[in-house]
Amino acid sequence: MESYSVKRRIFYDKLFKAIIVFLTFCSILPLFFILFFITSKGISMINWDFLTQLPKPVGEWGGGISNALIGTFLLVIIASIFSIPIGILTGIFLSEYRNGQLAYLTRLCTEILQGIPSIVIGIIAYIWLVIPLGSFSALSGGIALGLMMLPVIIMATEETLKLIPDSLREASLALGVSYPRTVLKVILPAGFSGIITGILLGTARIAGETAPLLFTAFGSPYMNYNILKPINSLPLVIFNYASSPYPEWHKLAWGASLVLIILTLILNLFTKLVTKKWKIQF
Amino acid sequence: MNMQAEHFSKVANSENFFRKLLSLAGVFIIVILLAILFTLFISSFPAIRTFGIYFFSGSTWDPVRSEFGALPFLMGTLATSLLALAISIIFSLPISIFLGEYFTQGGKATFIKSMIELLAGVPSVIYGFWGLFVMAPLVRKLELSLGVAPLGVGIFTASLILAIMIIPYSASLAREVISLVPADLKEAAYSLGATRLEVIQKVILPYAKSGIIAGILLSLGRALGETMAVTMVIGNRNSIPNSIFSPANTLASIIANEFTEATDSIYLASLVELALVLFLVTTFLNTLGKWIIHRMAVNR
């Protein structure tokens, strides 16, 4: 009787482990399905024309996504210009004054900001920028994306700078280096890799975002470099083409999806390499 | 002597300036958040004043007659998010036990970890696109065999896609908490003759319970606000859903669909009020989840 029960317990133990391993592998299957489908449907679309031509109107076969590629790039640039300086400064503030009352509030607000649904950010950018400026614009889309990138950079900067040992700062101060110089020339460079990782993570987060662009950047069939005019972006193209009734446009959307997925994968991979190469070790 | 004093005061000045600049950046974030809340409130005020509590209990959303009741979207959001959460837990909990207990390092762990990270990195519009063209036909077949209207799109499809999307979030947090369970607790249980399953059941899960719940709350917050994937596969119908296969709309998807069409001010204000509700609910869930984690970290 005794040995039976021990056997049973061991059996359950092994069964449980098998179930855990099975379910874990099941849950990564969707990733392969998605990658497989996008690649198999999109690969035939990708050629030089697809990447360098403008979209054509319905009925005409062909056309490319060059304006969306440029648009995504411009939007990311605007978002970075807005969020990187403020993000790094706030990150320094949080790590330098970690126990202050103001830092506590700032940290709380950063966390809340990170949790705001992207569609709400889109509405905010619409009310703040699109209504006063009178038209949809790349600027409003970039700011919306910047608002989403900001908390990622703040948190990455804070986490990295916190890890830097006090001895480094004390050594610098003991040499008579002023406090701002110590922060800018000693502490910040020591945390460089973490900050870069944060920026890359933030970029990866916003590069595929669609919801905040729906009523800010809005999309446009033309090539546009003016940041006060509507602009196209890859995720917007995918959304607009995928929800259209034309099979030719669906094909374009598969192609655009493949390009977008490759871009985000490269960003993720690059982030990992950077983290490995310049990891702070003390 | 005088020059030295001047130099020191210059240094002190630049220090002061630098400290002020840092504090200013901190204040800026607080101001941004308050401005967001304020903007949402002011812009939705006409709707709040006109409809009051009816906004949450009314089941008619009719822009033509300017009648706005958000109950269908509240129900749609709740149904999709909870169903997605239930499906995702079946997978996220095993992943976190797999990574937090069975395979904490080594090739398998690295493989699974990077795959989960990639899963989190796929843009939501691609999930929606894939869901619309691959998942929806499968669901349509299922619906045919069950004898329900074979639409393919609806709450069920949206929940499936949403579940895949939030698995990485609840799994990563639960993994962290599970790997934090002190080794001496586990070893004590092993020394009493417990099998690994019993250690997981009776030591690890009870110890990590609140962290796992926090992870679930945070992923619920994400599920509620997820827009693109849901908008593409939920079917977009503005009435109260009557089964898990029926098409519906969520708070986020109705905003995405109708915001650019909203011409008169009360329509716009009603949509912004939906955004305000979304903002308040996700903020509440996120803050609660973070608070639980913070409390755990302090207790340790």
State the amino acid at position A13 in one-letter form: D
Q: Sorting pLDDT into bands at 50, 70 and 90, what band is A2? A: low
Neighbouring C-beta atoms of residue A180, cutoff 10 Å: 17
- Is the pLDDT at B111 greater than 60? The verdict is yes
Tell me, yes or no, if B126 comes closer than 8 A to chain A by beta carbon: yes
Q: Round the average pLDDT of chain A to a whole number and report it.
A: 89
Same domain, B203 and B117: yes
pLDDT value for B149: 83
Would you state the pLDDT for residue A139?
Answer: 94
Does a structural domain hold residue B67? no
B162 plus B293 within the same structural domain: yes
Q: What mean pLDDT, rounded, does chain B reach? A: 91
B95 → closest Cβ in A13, A27, A105: A27
State residue B150's pLDDT score.
86
Task: Tell whether B60 is covered by a domain.
Answer: no
Lowest mean pLDDT among A207-211, A214-218, B113-117, B259-263: B259-263
Q: How far is CA B283 from CA A115, A158, B82, in A?
A: 7, 22, 17
Partner residue facing B256 (CB), from A128, A211, A235: A211
User: What is the arithmetic mean of pLDDT over B82-106?
Assistant: 93
Chain B nearest-CA distance from A260, in A, is: 8
pLDDT for A124 equals 96
d(CA A46, CA A88): 38
Q: Which residue of A has its CA nearest to B272?
A: A123
Same domain? For B253 and B171 the reply is yes
The alpha carbon of residue A110 is apart from the nearest alpha carbon of chain B, in Å, by: 7
Instruction: Work out the number of other CB atoms within 10 angstroms of the CB of residue B203.
Output: 19
- pLDDT (average), residues B154-168: 94
CA distance to partner chain B, nearest, from residue A116 (Å):
6
Q: Is B212 exposed, middle or buried (CB count within 10 Å of its CB: 0-12, 13-18, 19+)?
A: buried
The structural domain count of chain B equals: 2
Question: Is the model's pLDDT at A87 over the cut of 60?
Answer: yes
Q: What's residue A278's pLDDT?
A: 59
* pLDDT bucket at B165, cuts 50 / 70 / 90: very high
φ, ψ dihedrals at B248, nearest 5°: -155, -165
pLDDT tens for residues A35-50?
999 999 999 888 888 8
The answer to whether B286 contacts chain A (CB < 8 Å) is yes
DSSP A198-219: HHHHHHHHHHT--GGGTTTTB-
What per-residue confidence (pLDDT) applies to B65? 87
**Cβ–Cβ gap B39/A124 under 8 Å:** yes
Asked if B110 and B215 sit in the same domain, the reply is yes
Choose the mutation target among A6, A24, A257, A269 for the interface with B, i.e. most B CBs under 10 Å.
A24
Residue of B298 and B13 predicted with greater confidence: B13
Closest residue in A to B220 (Cα–Cα): A115
Q: How far is B102 from chain A (nearest CA, A)?
A: 8
Q: Are residues B38 and B160 in the same domain?
A: no
Once rounded to an integer, what is the mean pLDDT over residues B256-281? 92
B43 has a pLDDT exceeding 90? yes
* Confidence check: pLDDT of A255 > 60: yes
Residue A172 CB coordination number (10 Å): 18
Which of 224-263 (A) contact B at CB < 8 A?
235, 238-239, 242-243, 250, 253-254, 257, 260-261
Domain ranges of chain A: 2-32, 50-277
Contacts of B232 in chain A (CB under 8 A): 239, 242-243
The answer to whether the Cβ–Cβ distance between A26 and B98 falls below 8 Å is no
* pLDDT > 80? residue A168: yes
Q: Which residues of A touch B126 (CB under 8 A)?
A: 34, 38, 208, 238, 257, 260-261
Residues B29 and B178 in one domain: no
Cβ neighbours of B43 in A, within 8 Å: 127
- Looking at the structure, tell me whether residues B150 and B85 fall in a common domain: yes
> How high is the pLDDT of residue A247?
86
Instruction: Tell me phi and psi for residue A57, to 5 degrees.
Output: -70, 165
**Residue B205 within any structural domain of the chain:** yes
Task: Write down the pLDDT at residue A130.
Answer: 93
Q: Indicate which CATH number applies to the domain containing B91.
A: 1.10.3720.10
Read off the pLDDT band of B180 (50, 70, 90). confident
Residue B131: inside a domain, yes or no?
Answer: yes
Q: Are B34 and B22 contacting, i.e. CB atoms less than 8 angstroms apart? A: no
Whether residues B224 and A117 touch (CB distance < 8 A) is answered with yes
Please list every residue in chain B whose beta carbon sits closer than 8 Å to the beta carbon of residue A122. 259
pLDDT band (50, 70, 90) for residue A5: confident
Residue pair B296/B210 in contact (Cβ under 8 Å)? The answer is yes
Q: Check whether B158 has a pLDDT greater than 70.
A: yes
CA–CA gap between residue A230 and residue A21 (Å, rounded): 48
Q: Which amino acid is at B161?
A: I
Looking at the predicted structure, is the pLDDT value of residue B299 above 70?
A: no
Confidence of residue A83 (pLDDT cuts 50, 70, 90): very high
Q: Report yes or no on B64 lying in a domain.
A: no
Distances (CA, A) of A188 to A92, A193, A260, B110: 8, 10, 32, 30
B19 and B136 in a single domain? The answer is: no
| pLDDT over 70 (residue A3) | no
The percentage of residues in chain B with a pLDDT greater than 70, rounded to a whole number, is: 98
Rounded to whole angstroms, the Cα distance separating A118 from A231 reads: 18
State the ipTM, two decimals.
0.91
For residue B203, the model assigns a pLDDT of 93
Q: Is A123 on the interface with B (CB under 8 A)?
A: yes
pLDDT, mean of residues B61-88 = 93
Confidence of residue A275 (pLDDT cuts 50, 70, 90): confident
Is residue A204 a contact partner of residue B121, using CB atoms and an 8 Å limit?
yes
Please judge whether A117 and B15 are an interchain contact, meaning their C-beta atoms are less than 8 angstroms apart: no
Phi/psi region, residue A244 (left: phi>0; alpha: psi -120 to 50; beta: rest), is: beta
Please tell me whether residues B24 and B151 are part of one structural domain.
Answer: no
Strands B61-62 vs B67-68: parallel, antiparallel or unpaired: antiparallel
On whether residue B68 sits in a domain, the answer given is no
Position A227 scores a pLDDT of 87
CB contact under 8 A, B91 and A243: no
Q: What pLDDT was estimated at residue A272? A: 81
- pLDDT tens-digit map of B197-214: 999 999 999 999 988 999
Contacts of B112 in chain A (CB under 8 A): 24, 28
pLDDT over 80 at B186, yes or no: yes
Residues B81 and B209 in one domain: yes
DSSP H or E run through B145? helix B136-146
Q: Do A179 and B15 touch (CB under 8 A)?
A: yes
Which of A149-163, A265-279, B190-204, B258-272 is the least confident region? A265-279
Closest partner CB to B256 (pick from A110, A214, A235): A214
Q: Do A111 and B112 touch (CB under 8 A)?
A: no
Chain B residues lying within 8 Å of A24, measured CB to CB: 91, 94-95, 98, 112
Q: Does B28 touch chain A (CB under 8 A)?
A: yes
Residue B181 has pLDDT above 60, yes or no: yes
Test mutation, B15, B19, B22, B44, chain A, max A CBs within 10 A: B22
Q: How far apart are CA B240 and CA B248, in angstroms?
A: 7
pLDDT of residue A4: 64
- Among A56-60, A117-121, B285-289, the minimum mean pLDDT is found in A56-60
pLDDT of residue A63: 77
Residue B37 contacts A, CB cutoff 8 Å: no
Question: How confident is the model at residue A206, as a pLDDT?
Answer: 92
Three-state DSSP at B126 gives helix
Q: Judge if B23 and B114 occupy the same domain.
A: no
CATH assignment of A50-277?
1.10.3720.10
Angle (CA) B274 B226 B85, round 5°: 110
Domain limits for position B273: 73-299
A82 touches chain B (CB under 8 A): no
